[in-house]
Amino acid sequence: MNHYTCPTCNHKVIVFDRLAAPYRPFCSRRCQLLDLAKWFNEEYRIETAPTPPDFTSANGTAFPDYSAFCTSSDPQVESDA
Ligand SMILES: [Zn+2]
């Protein structure tokens, strides 16, 4: 018999069989997902703090300038079809 403490909710989990604790070191799938979400949030925050150069186009807008890929500047030009 073994036991461990869930790092998410500090719940003490007692395991009779190592294979009987699929969510170890968490007590449940919920706590496992909560911990994952926490890590993803931390990562997201770190990566978005500095502005990535790829997301800033030459004209200073937050999105890349796609006008160069547009063959038609007037979307209404095909409305007579
Ligand atoms: Zn837990």
Domain range list for the chain:
2-56
Give me ligand 1 centre to Cα 76, in Å.
57
Looking at domain 2-56, its CATH superfamily turns out to be Erythroid Transcription Factor GATA-1, subunit A (3.30.50.10)
2-17 pLDDT tens trace = 889 999 999 999 888 7
Cβ-defined contacts of 7-11 (< 8 Å, 24+): 7/31, 7/35, 8/32, 8/34, 8/35
Give me ligand 1 centre to Cα 27, in Å.
4
Give me ligand 1 centre to Cα 9, in Å.
4
pTM of the model: 0.47
Tell me the three state secondary structure of residue 3: strand
25-78 pLDDT tens trace = 999 999 999 999 988 888 766 555 555 555 555 556 555 555 555 565 565 656
